[in-house]
Amino acid sequence: MSRAAAAPPPMPPLGKPIAVPVQSSVWDRFTNWAAENKALVYTIAGVAVVVSSAGVVYYLNADAKPKPAAQPKLSKKEKRKRKDAERQAESSPKSPAPTGEQAKAPTVEPADELPEINETTVATFTDEQRKEYALKLKNAGNKAYGSKEYPQAIDLYTKAILCKPDSIFYSNRAACYNALSAWEKVVEDTTAAINLDPTYIKALNRRANAYEHLSQFSESLLDYTASCIIDEFRTESSTNAVERLLKKVAEQKAEEIIKSKDPKKLPSPTFVSNYIQSFRSKPRPKGLEDDVDLSESTGKGQLQIGLQAMEKKTHEGYEEAANAFEKALEYGDLDEHEALVYNLRGTFRNLRGSHEQALQDMDKSIELDPAYTQSYVKRASMHLEMGDRDSAAADLEQALKQNDGDPDVYYHRAQLHFIHGEFQDAAKDYQKSIDLDSSFIFSHIQLGVTQYKMGSVASSMATFRRCVKNFEKVPDVYNYYGELLLDQNQYDEAIQKFDKAMEMEKQTKPMAMNVLPLINKALTIFQQKADFSEAEKLCEKALIIDPECDIAVATMAQLFLQQGKITEALKYFERAAELARTPGEIVNALSYAEATRTQIQVQEKYPQLAAKLQGMGAGAAGMGAGAFGAGR
């Protein structure tokens, strides 16, 4: 692994391509960090570390389970023994006891030897008698359970409990209820067992399973997490369950968020302007120039207002534009501009996350003016965003039939190839787009990134040097140049580029700065010097400029997690979920949030584990920083 844990992958210029890569790259970036970071965590600190920040990460990387190597080495024989024990524990309640008691078939029929057991009689027994009777009753219960006579087993365990409350008896009775699918009863009995023995893994797993059946996913997740922590993530079925439940909890919560998200806000101005500038800008149509006086209460007047507002590139400007395009279509009488207005309204509806409505607007726009190729291109990008490659390709094909000299179509077809890893085809289309119109900077940037992806580092660097020469005022050039330098661990050069990018942002659009270079600089410093506080400061600065920037928020969460500050990390993950735009992104952000939250809850709910957790957490946090300094 040549790249440091926090390095952003060589990715499509964030925000340039189309809405898809923009947003998903936040999580690409994050997942990448998570995967690499976890590897580091495991090799250095062994399994114990999973409890702290890394635990959160671990959940979300199913492909990176703790390898046996990370555990204390077991001999083959020991492994087999452990396996056998696990299997037996699963098959019946006979040996769930932490006492290690072996499952001998009971020879005693309690009815033959025991006196009547009820509240009244039990009160008359000596301690010795209670103990003796309880054991006999339990053994008989196990036998009944083994022959699937659950009501009888329940009766026997109940009597055993009457003699002497014991976590094993409760847990075994819960197993009977489990077999009868009486989930509430399972919860009741396992809870009693856990109250008596808070680290009783089998009871925790049993209760977690019952909660899952009752659709109480958060409770289930909490129990599975506790169980994983207690046995240090050794049991695969439990770690799988944690991942499964995380997804369920996140999906359930996402549904609530999506329902309550109305009216939908536009994403951050950084996102919106990146999205909009991925399509070549067209001059203002005739008759709508600034000096033309139009009434606000006409469709054309609103169109003019909207186009003017878009040029401000601020959050308020974009909101104003979105509303104006809605109104323009209500007023109507747009004449030849109608297709354009549907295109624009659809663009903003898509940005608000109303994908269906947005697609309908693009359909209408194309129907009104089939020669207006940008509507095909935008519809293609929406299809791509929803993962529908075929429809996207078909739209681009249709656009080329209308106009095979439109550089935008080649650029977006290149994007399609790029995000599917087809770099040869992508490079060809970027080049074609450049040949048709070399003034569009993003074709050059993307070509450079594609060359880098293909392993042609020298041509890629040459492309970027040319870009710097020909587009010296464009901040994005420096930003993506910097990302590629960072990927080559050329930290100082990368930082120079990010600084230059910010300088150009300030010079060219002081009121609507893109904060990506600041975040990239934060990651570089974090990676180079493990300097958390400097990195945090830079992200905070980015959030002051653009408070809704999801990438800044996700990066902050990542920085806190890395330091083991899970409460702070949780705050930022929740914020990231609020800012997310598509259902997939919301679920993604919430999974991280829930993983973090559950760990906090486990620490609160199981104070007996807290000391153990604290020790592990501190170790992990220290280790994280150290590892950055040393290994990379």
Report the interface residues with ligand NAG, using CB under 6 A.
116, 118-121
- Considering the complex, state which of residue 119 and residue 256 has its C-beta at the smaller distance from ligand NAG: 119
Whole-angstrom distance, CA of residue 335 vs CA of residue 410: 30
User: Least distance in Å: CB of 121 to ligand NAG?
Assistant: 5
- Considering the complex, state which of residue 130 and residue 265 has its C-beta at the smaller distance from ligand NAG: 130
Instruction: Enumerate residues 6+ apart whose C-beta is below 8 A from 297.
Output: 331
Whole-angstrom distance, CA of residue 500 vs CA of residue 482: 10
Contact at 8 Å (CB) between 299 and 332? Answer: yes
User: Least distance in Å: CB of 169 to ligand NAG?
Assistant: 20
User: Least distance in Å: CB of 116 to ligand NAG?
Assistant: 4
User: Least distance in Å: CB of 152 to ligand NAG?
Assistant: 18
3-class DSSP state of 592:
helix
User: Least distance in Å: CB of 132 to ligand NAG?
Assistant: 18
Whole-angstrom distance, CA of residue 505 vs CA of residue 16: 16
User: Least distance in Å: CB of 123 to ligand NAG?
Assistant: 10
- Considering the complex, state which of residue 124 and residue 126 has its C-beta at the smaller distance from ligand NAG: 124
Phi, psi of 108 (to 5 degrees): -100, 130
- Considering the complex, state which of residue 116 and residue 604 has its C-beta at the smaller distance from ligand NAG: 116
- Considering the complex, state which of residue 107 and residue 120 has its C-beta at the smaller distance from ligand NAG: 120
CA angle 76–82–85, rounded 5-degree value: 140
User: Least distance in Å: CB of 110 to ligand NAG?
Assistant: 14
What sign does the dihedral 512-516-521-522 (CA atoms) show? Answer: positive
Whole-angstrom distance, CA of residue 88 vs CA of residue 232: 20
Burial of 251 (0-12, 13-18, 19+ CB in 10 A): middle
Give Dmax (Cα) for the chain: 105
User: Least distance in Å: CB of 600 to ligand NAG?
Assistant: 46
Whole-angstrom distance, CA of residue 239 vs CA of residue 248: 14
As a three-state string, the secondary structure of 541-599 is HHHHHCCCCHHHHHHHHHHHHHCCCHHHHHHHHHHHHHHCCCHHHHHHHHHHHHHHHHH
For the chain, state the CA radius of gyration. 31
Whole-angstrom distance, CA of residue 342 vs CA of residue 347: 8
- Considering the complex, state which of residue 164 and residue 500 has its C-beta at the smaller distance from ligand NAG: 164
- Considering the complex, state which of residue 117 and residue 266 has its C-beta at the smaller distance from ligand NAG: 117
- Considering the complex, state which of residue 120 and residue 147 has its C-beta at the smaller distance from ligand NAG: 120
